[in-house]
Amino acid sequence: MSFPRTLGELRHSPFSEQRLRTRRVKDELRDNLVTKLRAGGPIFSGIVGYDDTVVPQIINAILSRHNFILLGLRGQAKSRILRSLTALLDPQMPYIAGCEIHDDPYAPICRHCREEVAKHGDDTPIAYLTPEARYVEKLATPDVTIADLIGDIDPIKAARGGHELSSELTVHYGLLPRANRGIFAINELPDLAGKIQVGLFNIMQEGDVQIKGYPIRLPLDVALVFSANPEDYTARGKIITPLKDRIGSEIRTHYPASIEEGIAITTQEAWMLRDGYKLYVPKYVHEVIERVAFAAREDKKIDKRSGVSQRLPISCMENVISNAERRAIHHDEKVVVPRIGDVYAAMPAITGKLELEYEGEMKGADHVGRELIRTAIAKTYDEYFTGVNTQQIVQWFDLGGEIQLSDTAGAGEVLQSLQTIQGLMDKLGKVGVGPKDSIEMQVSAAEFVLEGLHAHKRIGRNEERVFSAGEKQPKPAEKPFDREEPPYRPRRQFN
């Protein structure tokens, strides 16, 4: 499809409709959202777990033509949601070619574009912006200045063009004017210095900005969206009250509410499709990895104010697959099947994402990480083996049986050892693995059973991953007397 390339051609195209000529960005977002709602289907692709909570509130904010802010802990898809708003913009937007602030051809606001239209008339060249080019994002940091956001006077422009410094033609526009007729997003808003936040007042309430104190007024057309971590209000800064008052809607995000939602996010985001080898990730491995994050969010040794990012299970999954891939390459196995031992090998992807409280610092990140994995294994094991009699397996270890399951050992050699454990291979059907499945799948499932028994302290395992009989808990020592001891009385003094 060819688009009009001059203002005259534009006037005789579909872009000349009165509705499109006068429609502002927030109206454009609203109109396209209404069209999507009528058509049905997801509004934002790739956003999982927010259908009944966050997404309806975002829809209400857009329908209300609000500027809005997303409040949530790290790793809750705030930036992804903001970037997804471009799906509600028109596929093409005409503007005067060469304009830094993408001026509307029918109503230019900058002096240069007004002079161009007056000079060339219908021959004024027209260019087009895609939705992605209409999204401008800025990560707020304490060193951001008003000049970065709004703009500044450029003396070089003045010298080269022979203009007065007070002339509008000497302005170097900041990020906010360059987002004109689009979406401007600020991530981590509390990190923005208070005096810089004041610079956003006019554009949010009156819809214009002033540059360097000169009487240059730009009635910009911008949809403003923000993100912030609510705990950062006191840790690194705060959103000043007048700015909060000007933000139309405050929307709270959250972590996945269920293991299934977490698995869906991790599967979507993690790099799982590797080249050269067939990959099969058992469901129980998915669940263990996801439950590590869930357990961490409830653990008292981990700082809840910082949160546990959804990036933890994503990075952990990638490390787990890589460890299994390394083993498959070394032993020339045909299929990559992760084991529970690979989750322990992925500790570097876990410990770096935990902010520990004092008690956690005393025990150490590695100790806390292993406890989280063990808790996740125990809960996942219960999902499959509650009510299943595993006494025969435990008894084999109680009678002196031992087996080492190194995460680097090949499936062939490990399977031979596992088959000597009485009753073990018969239980693999509970996780959907049978004797006709690949040896890699059988070994992974059998190791899951043993790790589950170890997590429940029914069998033992040392740091070299040697499984053996569990330690018998000693009975509490009995008191020599059943009766309560009489209360202490001071010895009577005699004169």
CATH code of the domain covering residue 232 = 3.40.50.300
**Nearest by Cα to 340 from 392, 396, 390, 414:** 414
3-state secondary structure 453-481: HHHCCCEEECCCCEEEECCCCCCCCCCCC
In angstroms, the first-to-last Cα distance of the chain is 117
Flag whether 1 is in a domain: no
Q: Is the domain of 234 the same as that of 276?
A: no
Handedness of CA 388, 392, 393, 395 (dihedral sign): positive
Q: Is the domain of 213 the same as that of 110?
A: yes
Q: Are 386 and 329 in contact (CB under 8 A)?
A: no
Q: Is the domain of 320 the same as that of 224?
A: no
Residue 258 corresponds to which tokens in the numbers above?
Answer: 């269920």
Rounded distance, CA 451 to CA 447, Å? 6
Residue 438 corresponds to which tokens in the numbers above?
Answer: 């690949």
- Domain tally for the chain? 2
Q: Is the domain of 302 the same as that of 375?
A: yes
Provide the residue type at 335 as one letter: V
Rounded distance, CA 181 to CA 134, Å? 7
Flag whether 31 is in a domain: yes
Q: Is the domain of 359 the same as that of 435?
A: yes
Q: Is the domain of 235 the same as that of 297?
A: no
Cα of 203 vs its chain's centroid, Å: 29
Residue 121 corresponds to which tokens in the numbers above?
Answer: 């008339």
- Interval 412-470: pLDDT, tens: 999 999 999 999 999 999 999 999 999 999 999 999 999 999 999 999 999 899 999 87
Q: Is the domain of 422 the same as that of 315?
A: yes
- Interval 341-354: pLDDT, tens: 999 999 999 999 99
Q: Is the domain of 152 the same as that of 280?
A: no
Q: Is the domain of 228 the same as that of 358?
A: no
Rounded distance, CA 383 to CA 291, Å? 12
pLDDT of residue 215: 63
pLDDT of residue 143: 86
Rounded distance, CA 37 to CA 87, Å? 13
Flag whether 482 is in a domain: no
pLDDT of residue 483: 47
Which of 211, 233, 252 corresponds to the end of one domain? 252
Rounded distance, CA 175 to CA 185, Å? 10
Q: Which domain holds residue 402?
A: 259-469
Flag whether 485 is in a domain: no
DSSP per-residue string spanning 362-382 = HH-HHHHHHHHHHHHHHHHHH
Flag whether 480 is in a domain: no
Provide the residue type at 409 as one letter: A
Backbone φ and ψ of 413, nearest 5°: -70, -35
Q: How far is CA 477 from CA 94, 480, 484, 485, in A?
A: 85, 9, 16, 17
Q: Is the domain of 271 the same as that of 134?
A: no
* Residues of the chain predicted below pLDDT 70: 1, 19, 155, 158-159, 161-169, 212-216, 232-237, 471-495
Helix (H, G, I), strand (E, B) or coil at 182: strand
Rounded distance, CA 233 to CA 189, Å? 9
Rounded distance, CA 360 to CA 303, Å? 9
Q: Which residues contact 131 (CB under 8 A, 6 or more apart)?
A: 86, 87, 89, 90, 91
Rounded distance, CA 312 to CA 343, Å? 12
Cα-Cα-Cα-Cα torsion 394, 398, 399, 403, nearest 10 degrees, comes to 70
pLDDT of residue 492: 53
Provide the residue type at 391 as one letter: Q
Q: Are 389 and 426 in contact (CB under 8 A)?
A: no
Rounded distance, CA 327 to CA 205, Å? 60
Q: Is the domain of 212 the same as that of 286?
A: no
Flag whether 405 is in a domain: yes
Which of 195, 220, 252 corresponds to the end of one domain? 252
Rounded distance, CA 345 to CA 296, Å? 18
Which of 202, 220, 252 corresponds to the end of one domain? 252
Flag whether 484 is in a domain: no
Flag whether 159 is in a domain: yes
pLDDT of residue 150: 85
Q: Is the domain of 235 the same as that of 300?
A: no
